[in-house]
C-alpha cells in the first residue's frame, strides 16, 4: 500500500508492482488533464491567487502557520504560508519546473565537510552519493531527463549519460553563458525532466512560455503522472485510487502495520496491507505518522524520540534581477536553460554549502508586475511605464540556497484545527538558520556579478529571510539515519521501530542540497523500492 501518488509514491508503486507484488496506490487528489487548468496564470501552481490549480482546495483544508511575531494564524492552501505541495496524480511533478539535479558527493556528508554551525542539526547522510548513483541513473532514464553529461565539471561521477540531449539555449541563456565564460565560471545546460526529443512515446517540448506551475499541454514534461504511474497500472498489479484521504495507519498491538484507514466520498474505509509506504510530502507524511498514534507509540509512529516533523527545510532562494537596454526575452520556454555550479561548495569565509545558480523561468505578466525593482513605485503611471518598457529586458538569476537544518523548525499536529474529515491538521513553525542568510547574500552577489557581466545596466538583489522554512522543496521531517535515537527511518527508508512502515519522499532528506530536490527524491524511491521488493517478495 502506497499513500501519495507523487514524485516518490508513483515510483515505489511501479517498482513494487513490477516485482510482482499487489499494490494499492492511494491519492487524495485526482487525475487531472491539461485542459482543466490550461495556462491561467492566476490559478497555477506558481501563482495561486485564485486558488490551487492542482489542489488541495481551500474549502476542505487549512493549517496553522507561525507569523513573524510568533503567533499562529489559520492559513488556506492557496496562501503562501500554507507551504502547499500539489495534491493530484503526479503530485508536484505534474506541474513542476522539472529541473532534474543530482546532489553532489559532499551534499551527503555535510557535517564531516563543514561541521554543524551552532543551532543547526546538520548531519551526514547514512548513505553516500555512490550508493545512490545507479538509482540517479535509473531515474534519469525511467523518468526521462534531457541534459549534457560532462558539461558540468562539478558534478559527481556518473556512469551513464542522459537519455536525451539538452534543450537548446534561448537568447538569455546564450548571453549568460558567454558572460559566465568571461568570468571564468562553468555554465552548462540545466538537466530537465522534459523531452528534448520524442521519448517513451511522448513528444518533444514545444517551448511554450508557460512551464513551471502548469500542466504540460503536450505531455513533454515528465511527471510520474505520465511515466511511472501509467506503467504501474499497466502491470495489472497496481490499483490507483483517487480522492482518497488517508486518516491513519492501522497498527496491530505491536510494531506491525496492518493497513490504512481512509476517507473516500465521505465514507471511511480500511484497506488491509502487508506494508505501508508513506509518500505524502515532508509536511503531510509526518502528519499521517503523528495521527497514527497507538498505545505502544503514543506520540505517533516513529516518534518515540521526538524527531518526526523536525528539521523542516526547503531552500533559502536568493538571487538577483538585472535590467538590460535591449530585449533578451524571446518567449521560449522553459526559459530556465543555463546554470553554474561554481558556488555549490568551496565558498570563502567559512560559508557552508551553497547553491547552483540558474536563470529563471519566464515571469508571466502578473508576477512580473509584482516584482519590480525597489525604487519603482508599486502603482501608478510610473509603475505601468516601467512594466511596459522592461518586460522583455529583465532577467532573473537565482539559486536554491542549501539550508542548515534547525531542530526547532517543524510541523506538528494542531489538534484544535481539523480538516473537512475531522483529521487533525498541521501547524508549521520555526525559522531558517542565520547562516542561510549569509550564504544567500553571497549567492545573490554572485548572481548580480553574472548579470552585470552579461550587460545589465542595473541589478537588484533578493535574499531569503529567516522566516518559516518549507515551500515546494520541503524536506527533512523524517530524517534518515543509522541511530534510532536521532533519526526516523533507516538507510532504506523503513521507520526504525516498525516492521513494515516506510517513508519515501523528501521527508527523509538529511539536508536538501543546493538543488531542486525531485530527482534525488526519485533516486531514493528507486533505492528504497529495490530493498522493499526483496524484503516483501521473500516473505511470500
Partner 1 sequence: MNKGSGLNRREFVVGAGTLVVPLHAAAPLQTFSGDEARLVEALSEQVIPADDTPGAKQAGVLYYIDRQLAGPLRRFAATYHDSLGRLTTACRERTGRDFVDLAFTDQTKFLLDLEAGRIEKLDSFWRMVVDHTMQGFYGSPAHGGNREEVSWDMLGIRDLMEGHRH
Where along the sequence are the contacts to partner 1 (CB under 8 A)? 35, 38-43, 49-51, 58, 78, 208-210, 217, 331, 364-366, 368-370, 378-381, 383-385, 387-388, 391-392
Q: Compare residues 38 and 445 and give the one whose CB is closer to partner 1.
A: 38
Residue 359 beta carbon to partner 1: minimum distance, rounded to whole angstroms:
18
Tell me how far, at minimum, the Cβ of 221 lies from partner 1, in Å: 14
Query: Which three three-digit cell numbers place residue 76?
Result: 488556506
The H or E element containing residue 258 is: strand 257-264
Spatial separation of the C-alpha atoms in residues 366 and 69, rounded to whole Å: 29
Asked if residues 214 and 97 have their Cβ atoms less than 8 Å apart, the reply is: no
Cell numbers given for 157: 561521477
**Which residue, 37 or 313, has its beta carbon nearer to partner 1?**
37
With helix as H, strand as E and coil as C, how does 315-351 read?
CCCEEEEEECCCCCCCCCCCCCCEEECCCCCCCCCCC
The grid cell for 334 is 522553459
Q: How far is the CB of 373 from partner 1 (least distance, A)?
A: 16
For partner 1, give the closer residue by CB, 375 or 538. Answer: 375
Nearer to partner 1, 49 or 128 (CB): 49
Contact call for residues 172 and 153 (beta carbons, < 8 A): no
Could you tell me if 122 and 405 are in contact, meaning their C-beta atoms sit under 8 angstroms apart?
A: yes
Query: How far apart (Å, rounded) are the C-alpha atoms in residues 279 and 521?
Result: 10
Q: Where are the alpha helices (DSSP H) in 280-412?
A: 284-290, 365-369, 381-390
User: By C-beta, is 30 or 43 nearer to partner 1?
Assistant: 43
How far out from the chain centre does Cα 364 lie?
A: 21
Report the nearest approach of partner 1 to the CB of residue 287 (Å): 24
Q: Is the CB of 41 or the CB of 131 nearer to partner 1? A: 41
Residue 291: exposure state from Cβ atoms within 10 A (0-12, 13-18, ≥19): buried
- Nearer CB in complex with partner 1: 134/209: 209
Per the DSSP assignment, residues forming a β-bridge with 257 are 251
Q: Nearest approach, Cβ of 191 to partner 1 (angstroms)?
A: 24
Question: CB of 203: closest distance to partner 1 in angstroms?
Answer: 13
Q: CB 404 → partner 1: shortest distance, Å? A: 33
- Residue 307, C-alpha cell as written in the block: 524527531
Amino acid at each position: 500500500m502506497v499513500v501519495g501518488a507523487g514524485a516518490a509514491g508513483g515510483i515505489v508503486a511501479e517498482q513494487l508492482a513490477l516485482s510482482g507484488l499487489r499494490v494499492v496506490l492511494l491519492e487524495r487528489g485526482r487525475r487531472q488533464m491539461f485542459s482543466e487548468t490550461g495556462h491561467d496564470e492566476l490559478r497555477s501552481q506558481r501563482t495561486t491567487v485564485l486558488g490551487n490549480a492542482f489542489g488541495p482546495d481551500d474549502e476542505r483544508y487549512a493549517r496553522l502557520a507561525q507569523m513573524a511575531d510568533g503567533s499562529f494564524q489559520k492559513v488556506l492552501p492557496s496562501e503562501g504560508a500554507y507551504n502547499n505541495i500539489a495534491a493530484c496524480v503526479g503530485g508536484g511533478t505534474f506541474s513542476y519546473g522539472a529541473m532534474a539535479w543530482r546532489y553532489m558527493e559532499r551534499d551527503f556528508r555535510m557535517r564531516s565537510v563543514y561541521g554543524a554551525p551552532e543551532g543547526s542539526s546538520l548531519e551526514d547522510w547514512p548513505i553516500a552519493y555512490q550508493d545512490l548513483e545507479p538509482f540517479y541513473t535509473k531515474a534519469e532514464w525511467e523518468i526521462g531527463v534531457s541534459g549534457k553529461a560532462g558539461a558540468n565539471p562539478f558534478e559527481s561521477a556518473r556512469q551513464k549519460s542522459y537519455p536525451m540531449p539538452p534543450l537548446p539555449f534561448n537568447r538569455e541563456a546564450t548571453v549568460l553563458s558567454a558572460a559566465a565564460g568571461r568570468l571564468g565560471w562553468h555554465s552548462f545546460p540545466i538537466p530537465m525532466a522534459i523531452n528534448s526529443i520524442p521519448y517513451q512515446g511522448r513528444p518533444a517540448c514545444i517551448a511554450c512560455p508557460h512551464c513551471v506551475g502548469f500542466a504540460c499541454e503536450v505531455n513533454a514534461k515528465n511527471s510520474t503522472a505520465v511515466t511511472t504511474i501509467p506503467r504501474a497500472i499497466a502491470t495489472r498489479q497496481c490499483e490507483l485510487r483517487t480522492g482518497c484521504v488517508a486518516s491513519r495507519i492501522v497498527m496491530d498491538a505491536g510494531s506491525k502495520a496492518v493497513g490504512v484507514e481512509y476517507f473516500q466520498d465521505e465514507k471511511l474505509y480500511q484497506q488491509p496491507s502487508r506494508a505501508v509506504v508513506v509518500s505524502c510530502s515532508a509536511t503531510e507524511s509526518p502528519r499521517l505518522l503523528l495521527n497514527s498514534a497507538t498505545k505502544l507509540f503514543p506520540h505517533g509512529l516513529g516518534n518515540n524520540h521526538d524527531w518526526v516533523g523536525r528539521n523542516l527545510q526547503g531552500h533559502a532562494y536568493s538571487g538577483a534581477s538585472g535590467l538590460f537596454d535591449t530585449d533578451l526575452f524571446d518567449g521560449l520556454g522553459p526559459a530556465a536553460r543555463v546554470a553554474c555550479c561554481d558556488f555549490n561548495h568551496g565558498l570563502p569565509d567559512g560559508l557552508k554549502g551553497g547553491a547552483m545558480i540558474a536563470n529563471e523561468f519566464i515571469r508571466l505578466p502578473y508576477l512580473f508586475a509584482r516584482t519590480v525593482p525597489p525604487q519603482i513605485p508599486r502603482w501608478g503611471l510610473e509603475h505601468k511605464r516601467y512594466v511596459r518598457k522592461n518586460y522583455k529586458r529583465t532577467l532573473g538569476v537565482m539559486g536554491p540556497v542549501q539550508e542548515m537544518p534547525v531542530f526547532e523548525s517543524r510541523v506538528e499536529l494542531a489538534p484544535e484545527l481539523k480538516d473537512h474529515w475531522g483529521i487533525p491538521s498541521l501547524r508549521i513553525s520555526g525559522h531558517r538558520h542565520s547562516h542561510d542568510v549569509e550564504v544567500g547574500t553571497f549567492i545573490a552577489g554572485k548572481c548580480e556579478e553574472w548579470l552585470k557581466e552579461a550587460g545589465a545596466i542595473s541589478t537588484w538583489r533578493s535574499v531569503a529571510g529567516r522566516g518559516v522554512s518549507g515551500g515546494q522543496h520541503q524536506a527533512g521531517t523524517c530524517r534518515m539515519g543509522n541511530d534510532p535515537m536521532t533519526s526516523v527511518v533507516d538507510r532504506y527508508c523503513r521507520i526504525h521501530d516498525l516492521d513494515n512502515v516506510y517513508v519515501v519522499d523528501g521527508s527523509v532528506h538529511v539536508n536538501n542540497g543546493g538543488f531542486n530536490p525531485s530527482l534525488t527524491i526519485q533516486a531514493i524511491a528507486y533505492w528504497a523500492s529495490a530493498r522493499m521488493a526483496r524484503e516483501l517478495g521473500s516473505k511470500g
